[in-house]
Amino acid sequence: MPPTQTEDLVLPMTPEGATALLDHARDDRTGVAEEVLLPLSPLDAMMHKLGVMLLYIFPRPASKSADYDLQKLQNSFITLVNEDYPILIGELHMDSQTGVVSVKQTPQSRKIGAAAIRFETNSKGSMSANEAMETLAWSLMPTPRGPTELICVKTTLLSDGGLVIGVDASHTLLDGEGMFTFMTAWGQHYSGIDKQSRLVINHDQALAMGNGISGQATSPRAPGD
């Protein structure tokens, strides 16, 4: 099994400051945009070596007019992340002094947004949907994530008109249930469902628990994670 990450990222040494939001998006004195550090909880940070790696295999649509569109898939992915999952923009970062693990967003990464996330496509897959189900080939997955990459995706059009979506995400940000929510929301964006009818993505675990009180800093996951 190929590794999820190509290099090691040192574990956080101390939890100090892990729940403090280090938001330096703009210097009030100069007005110059700066980088943003979104700290992860110590528990989430400990999972940085683990990946959530999943293959989603879809048969050919019943209607020819509904054939899968790889460009539309990528565009809807970008919209989904920009609107509902901005925490996936940027890279994993560890403070060399405190050991706190964060998502780092530079002014450039915020400007480019989700368009900078690695999104591989293959419009001429040689397998059928049944073959993809039988083999679960690693070639259907994106190239393994680098040590600071948060998520990467590969879409493959199959020889019989089916589709495979391979996703490799950092376990610091998504687990299995969170990925299910992510894919459901992506499908709604791809299908053109209006915003009022789509899932409402909540990244605040305090609100997800139903007490109505927002936490100071929360783990950036989907409801139920």
Residue 220 lies in a domain: no
pLDDT tier at 26, thresholds 50, 70, 90: low
- Half-sphere exposure in the Cβ direction for 199 (13 Å, CA): 20
Residue 9 lies in a domain: no
pLDDT over 60 (residue 21): no
Total residue count of the chain as it appears in this document? 225
Contact between residue 95 and residue 102 where contact means Cβ atoms under 8 Å apart = yes
Range of the domain at 122: 50-91+113-208
pLDDT over 50 (residue 183): yes
- pLDDT value, residue 10: 38
Residue 56 lies in a domain: yes
Is the pTM higher than 0.95? The answer reads: no
The predicted model gives 179-201 an average pLDDT of 93
Q: Which residue has the tokens 């706190």?
A: 100
The total domain count for the chain is 1
- pLDDT value, residue 51: 86
- pLDDT value, residue 148: 93
The predicted model gives 187-202 an average pLDDT of 90
60-76 per-position pLDDT tens digit: 998 877 899 999 999 99
pLDDT tier at 207, thresholds 50, 70, 90: very low
Residue 45 lies in a domain: no
pLDDT over 80 (residue 224): no
pLDDT tier at 81, thresholds 50, 70, 90: very high
Residue 195 lies in a domain: yes
Contact between residue 9 and residue 94 where contact means Cβ atoms under 8 Å apart = yes
In single-letter form, the type of residue at position 81 comes to V
In this structure, what CATH number is given to the domain that contains residue 182? Answer: 3.30.559.10
37-57 per-position pLDDT tens digit: 999 888 887 777 788 999 999
18-22, 125-129, 192-196: the lowest-pLDDT one = 18-22
Q: How far apart are CA 45 and CA 94, in angstroms?
A: 9
- pLDDT value, residue 49: 74
Residue 138 lies in a domain: yes
29-38, 66-75, 93-102, 124-133: the lowest-pLDDT one = 29-38
Cβ-based neighbours of 215, under 8 Å, separated by 6 or more: 204, 205, 206
Residue 25 lies in a domain: no
Q: Kindly report the CA angle at 144 between 182 and 92, in degrees rounded to 5?
A: 65
Residue 225 lies in a domain: no
